[in-house]
Amino acid sequence: MTTMTDTSLREFKMPDVGEGLTEAEILKWYVQPGDTVTDGQVVCEVETAKAAVELPIPYDGVVRELRFPEGTTVDVGTSIIAVAVEGAAPAKEEPAPPKPAPAPAPKKTAEGRKPVLVGYGVAESSTKRRPRKGAVAPPAEDTLYAATAIQGELNGHGHGQVSVGRRPLAKPPVRKLAKDLGVDLATVTPSGPDGVITREDVHAAVSPPKAPEPGVPGVPGVPGVPGVEAPGPAAPAVAPAPAVSYDGARETRIPVKGVRKATAAAMVGSAFTAPHVTEFVTVDVTRTMKLVEELKEDKEMRGLRVNPLLLIAKALLVAIRRNPDINASWDEAAQEIVVKHYVNLGIAAATPRGLIVPNIKDAHAKTLPQLAESLGELVSTARDGKTSPAAMQGGTVTITNVGVFGIDTGTPILNPGESAILAVGTIRLQPWVHKGKVKPRQVTTLALSFDHRLVDGELGSKVLSDVAAILEQPKRLITWA
C-alpha cells in the first residue's frame, strides 16, 4: 500500500452526458471503495432524460469513496467518486476538475456508429433494481467502453473486457439482463470467446424456459420494440412477471424522472401546441407481404432485417418525395414554415426505460439495403438501452408501429418539432373484395397525424393515400421513385 505522500485524491465529476442536460441519475455502481480502477474502465451507469450512459474513469487508482448511492439524481459538475491516484503530484498542486473523458476519444457522428449487440430485451421488470448482495461488489474490471459520453456522444464500440478473480466474464449490459431475469452468472455456461457470457447464455439459463411470445398475425415481431422481426431462437424473451406483494398498501408511488419525465413533458408540449389532425385508411397489403418474403431470399438483403416496417418506411419516404411540403416544421419565433430537404426518419421504440424515438439520418438518400441496415442498428441499440441523445434529435417525420401489440390503429401524438407521424396497425387476414370476389387478404389500417398549422387536409390526405397505394401495389416503389 502506498503512503499519502505518494498519492493524490482526485474527484471525478458528473459530466454533461447529453447536450446541455443538467442532471443524471446514478443507476448502478460497478466499483466499490477499495477497488482498483484503470484508465478507461467503466465505473458507473447513469441515466439522463434522454438515454442511459456508462461512464469510464480517466485515470488509474484506488476507489476511496462513492459520493452518492444508486438511485440518486446528481447535478452535472458534482463530484460522484473519489479516487486515490498513485505517483501523482500532491493534491494542492492538482487541478481540481478532472477531465470527464480520455483525451484520445474521437468525436463521431451518430450515423457512423455500430452498436454492440448485447441487449437486455424487453422484460417487464427491467426498470426494477434489486439490492446488492452483501458486500460483493459488481465487477470492477469491465472495460467494454473506451470513452465517456460527452456532449451527446455515446460509447458504441465494445470489444470484450478484462476480468479479475473468479468473477464470471460478462459485459455490463449482460449483467443487467441477468439481474433483471434473476439469473446468477456463476451458474451460467459461457459460449462467447475467452469464456465470456453472452445474452443468449443468460436467456438459456432462465428456468423454466419460456416459449417465445407469439407474434402479431401476419407480422413476426418482438413485443415492445416496434417493427422488429424476431431474429430467431436467440431473440430476447419477455421475462415471467414476478409475484408482486404490496404488503397491504392501496397505492404505489413511482417517481417520474429520466426518459419517462422527458417524454411526458414533450408529449404535453406537443399536444397543446400543435393542432393535431388524424386521418385513417385501411389497405390490402397482401402484395407487400409477398414482397417481404421474396426479399428475405434475395442475396442483396442477406444478413439484413427484412420485415413489413422496412417497406412501410420506404413507402413513406417515396410519399414524402412526391409531397415534400409534409416534411416541415413550424418556427414559432420567426413565424415561418421550415421545409426540410432531407428526411431524418424517426422510429418509435418501446424500451425498458420508456418510449424513445431515435431517427435514421438522411433516410431519403438510402437504398433499400442501407435502410434495412440502419433500421436493424437503430432497433438493436434501442433494445440495448444505448441510444445516444444525438440519435434522438433532428427528426423530421416518425413511424410508430402499434401493430406489434395487436392494435389495429391509433391517433399518435406528434414528436415535438415534426409535422407528421404515421401509425401502422396490425396486419391480419380479413375478408376483402379482391377482383370482384370476397377473399382472405392481409389487411392493415394506417393513421397519419399531422400539424394542421402547416399541413392542410389535402396535403395530409395525399401523403397517406400515396403510402397506402404503394403498400397495395409495391411496384410503385419503382415507378414512383
Catalytic positions are: 452
CA–centroid distance for 436 within its chain? 45
Rounded to whole angstroms, the Cα distance separating 3 from 21 reads 39
Is the dihedral angle over the CA atoms 168, 171, 177, 180 positive or is it negative? positive
Cβ-proximal residues to 140 (8 Å cutoff; 6+ apart), any chain: 30, 31, 32, 35, 36, 37, 41, 164
Helix or strand run (H / E) with residue 175: helix 172-181
Q: Max CA-CA distance within the chain?
A: 91
Burial class (CB in 10 A: 0-12, 13-18, 19+), 296: middle
3-state secondary structure of 451: strand
Evaluate whether 314 touches 371 at the Cβ level (below 8 Å): yes
Rg (CA), the chain: 24
The label of the residue with cell 401524438 reads: 413
Rounded to whole angstroms, the Cα distance separating 37 from 373 reads 37
Residue type, 207: S
The label of the residue with cell 455502481 reads: 29
CA-based nearest residue to 37, from 12, 9, 62, 4: 62
Burial class (CB in 10 A: 0-12, 13-18, 19+), 118: buried
Supply φ then ψ for residue 396, to 5 degrees.
Answer: -115, -40
Rounded to whole angstroms, the Cα distance separating 350 from 226 reads 7
Mode of pairing for the β-strands spanning 7-13 and 36-37: unpaired
Torsion angle of the four alpha carbons 78, 84, 89, 92, in this order, in degrees rounded to the nearest 10: 50
Rounded to whole angstroms, the Cα distance separating 245 from 165 reads 37
Evaluate whether 148 touches 15 at the Cβ level (below 8 Å): yes
130 - beta bridge partners? none
